[in-house]
Amino acid sequence: MAEQTGIQATGKRKSAIARVYLRPGNGRIIVNQREFEDYFPMETTRNLVRKPLLLVNAGPEFDILVNVRGGGLEGQAGAVKHALSRALILFNPELRPALKKAGFSPGRPHQRAEEIRPPGRSPRLSVFQALNSGQ
């Protein structure tokens, strides 16, 4: 088997999807070919993204490349945080309990989405409602 040179993980939040690539390096974070501070100008979103790294003290040993699309900046920051958590778990499975306890590794976010009722279907019934013809 070929030696693994990096780790890739995907994270989602609302309608944002992020792909994160962890590679050995000196701690640079590049988001969509831009510097981390330029892409996330608010300190709150930057802190949200850094939380998993700070929790496991893994920041300076990796270069992090991120591709993110969809949603707003808050949703994108959450997606990057989710992807980083998943990448750290792939890197070291022993980190999973700590990340899970801190809430950085949600189970399956798509299963929590509310089901959308199709038009014409009663919200209380599981079958289409019969229409009276007036007779």
Please write the tens of the pLDDT for every residue from 71-124.
999 999 999 999 999 999 999 999 888 988 888 876 655 555 566 666 776 666
Residue 68, sorted as left (phi over 0), alpha (psi -120 to 50) or beta, turns out to be beta
Mean pLDDT over all residues of the chain? Answer: 83
Is pLDDT at 129 greater than 70 in this prediction?
no
**What pTM value is reported for the model?**
0.75
1 secondary structure, DSSP code? -
Q: At residue 98, what are phi and psi to the nearest 5 degrees?
A: -65, -45
Domain boundaries, the chain: 7-103
Q: Which two tokens stand for residue 34?
A: 């831009």
- Give me the pLDDT at residue 2, please: 42
Radius of gyration of the chain (CA): 20
Q: Which two tokens stand for residue 98?
A: 């700590």
Question: Which distant-in-sequence residues (6+ apart) come within 8 Å of 13 by Cβ?
Answer: 71, 75, 76, 77, 78, 79, 81, 82, 109
Is pLDDT at 125 greater than 80 in this prediction?
no
User: Which of 121, 89, 128, 126 is CA-nearest to residue 106?
Assistant: 89
Confidence of residue 3 (pLDDT cuts 50, 70, 90): very low
Share of the chain above pLDDT 70, in %: 75
Distance CA 86, CA 81 (A): 9
- Give me the pLDDT at residue 61, please: 86
Query: Within its chain, how far is the Cα of 61 from the centroid?
Result: 21
Share of the chain above pLDDT 90, in %: 51
Q: What is the CATH number of domain 7-103?
A: 3.30.230.10
Q: Which two tokens stand for residue 16?
A: 């944002």
- Give me the pLDDT at residue 105, please: 73
